[in-house]
């Protein structure tokens, strides 16, 4: 398993390209794990209605192998309601 952590992504398409073209393709056929939802990227993921689902589904649909998807813990409360 390889963990890819990317920070300071300027736009959503850049993240998809980085995850798919570099990490997933480079380590294929191994399982890869992606971590996303960094505060510095909130300028674009914060505009999505359901960012963790939108980004997670988009990443999983782009890569050829199994992958793990993790939203970073320090912005999780921004995207998930906690009682």
User: pLDDT tens digit string along 28-40?
Assistant: 999 999 999 999 8
pTM as predicted: 0.79
Residue 26: C-alpha distances to residues 4, 20, 60 (Å): 11, 9, 16
Distance CA 13, CA 24 (A): 15
> Does residue 13 have a pLDDT over 90?
no
Query: Which residues partner with 5 through β-bridges?
Result: 35
Q: How does residue 66 score in pLDDT terms, banded at 50, 70 and 90?
A: very high
Contact 71, 79 (CB under 8 A): yes
Distance CA 13, CA 79 (A): 20
């Amino acid at each position: 398993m390889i963990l890819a952590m990317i920070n300071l992504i300027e736009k959503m398409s850049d993240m998809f390209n980085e995850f798919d073209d570099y990490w997933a393709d480079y380590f294929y056929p191994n399982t890869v794990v992606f971590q996303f939802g960094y505060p510095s990227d909130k300028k674009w993921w914060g505009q999505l209605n359901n960012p963790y689902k939108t980004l997670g589904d988009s990443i999983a649909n782009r890569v050829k192998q199994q992958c793990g998807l993790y939203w970073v813990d320090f912005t999780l409360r921004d995207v998930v309601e906690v009682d």
